[in-house]
Amino acid sequence: MHKFSKLKNKVSFVTLLSIFIVPEAFSSDLKYCSDSSPDGITLENDKKRLISVYRQVVSFPDAKGIRKARVIAQERSKGEIVRFFSQNQKSIRSVGEVDTDKTQSTRLVDQSGSSMNSMFTREQSETLTEMDTSIASGNLSGIRQIEEYYDKSNETICVAMGFSAKSAQSAKDAQNWMNGDGTNEQLENKNTPTSHKRSIGDDW
C-alpha cells in the first residue's frame, strides 16, 4: 500500500508537470505567432512571399468574441500588406487669419424722446490647422491566413496573413471555379474556448 501511494504521487507529479510543459511546447512550434515574432510585415525573399502579423486583444473570450477579434486581426493584417505595396501619404497645413469688425447699436426711448448708443468692436484671431492622412488601396489576389494562435492566458489572438507569388498565381488560375469568402470556421463550443493553434503547411 505504501509503494502504491508513492507511485500515485509520482504519477500526479508527472501529470502536473505535463500541464505546465504542454502549453510551452504548444506555442513553441509557431512560426509567425510565437512570442518572439514581431508584428507587422516580414519578407521571405527566397520563397517570394510576404507575411503580415497582427495581434488583437479579445475583449470577451467566448466563441463570438474570439471570432470578432479574428476578423479584426485579419482585416488589419491585410491592410498592412496593401500599405506595404502602395500608400498615398498627405500632410496638410493651413493658416487662417480672421479680422472682424462688429457694430452694436442700442436705442433707448423715454418720455423726453429717444437716444441712440453705438458700440464698435473688433475681433481678431489666427488659426493653425495640421492634418496627416494615409490612404492605401489595392487589389491583391491570393492572400491567405497561414497561422492563427489564441492565447487564453493573455486573451489575445494572433493572425498571420500571407501573400506570395505562388498564392497569387493559384488565385488567378482558380478564379473561374472558386469563389471563397475568406472566413474561417467559427468556434461552436458554448463553453469558454481554450488556447488553440491553426496553421497551414509551408507550401503556399
* AA identity, residue 68: K
* Cβ-based neighbour number of residue 146 at 10 Å: 25
Q: How far apart are CA 6 and CA 14, in angstroms?
A: 12
CB 56 within 8 A of CB 33: no
| Residue ranges in the chain assigned as alpha helix (H) | 2-28, 63-85, 165-174
> Which amino acid makes up residue 49?
R
Three-state secondary structure call for residue 88: strand
Mind listing the pLDDT tens digit for each residue in 132-168? 888 888 888 889 999 999 999 999 999 999 999 888 8
Domain ranges of the chain: 91-133
Question: What pLDDT, on a 0 to 100 scale, did the predictor assign at position 29?
Answer: 78
Per the model's pLDDT, the better-predicted residue between 22 and 154 turns out to be 154
Residue 192 contacts residue 61 (beta carbons within 8 Å) = yes
Report the distance separating Cα 166 and Cα 81, nearest Å.
Answer: 16
Burial of residue 195 (CB within 10 Å: 0-12, 13-18, 19+) is middle
Q: What cell was used for 102?
A: 462688429
Max mean pLDDT among 24-28, 51-55, 167-171 falls in: 51-55
d(CA 65, CA 110): 74
Q: How confident is the model at residue 32 (pLDDT cuts 50, 70, 90)?
A: very high
Q: Cα torsion at 156, 71, 138, 134 (round to 10°)?
A: -60
How confident is the model at residue 49, as a pLDDT? Answer: 93
* pLDDT, tens only, 94-125: 999 988 888 888 777 777 766 777 788 888 89
Confidence grade of residue 186 (pLDDT, cut at 50, 70, 90): very low
Between β-strands 156-164 and 196-199, what pairing exists: parallel, antiparallel or unpaired?
unpaired
Quick check: 57 pLDDT over 70? yes
Cell of 175: 478564379
Q: Cα–Cα distance between 144 and 169 in angstroms, integer?
A: 13
Distance CA 66, CA 166 (A): 30
Cα torsion 189, 148, 66, 24: sign: positive
Q: Kindly list the distances between the CA atom of residue 105 and the CA atoms of 100, 114, 120, in Å, as whole numbers in the listed order.
A: 17, 13, 9
Q: 7 versus 77: which is more confidently predicted? A: 77
Of residues 162 and 172, the one with the higher pLDDT is 162
Averaged over 155-182, what is the pLDDT? Answer: 81
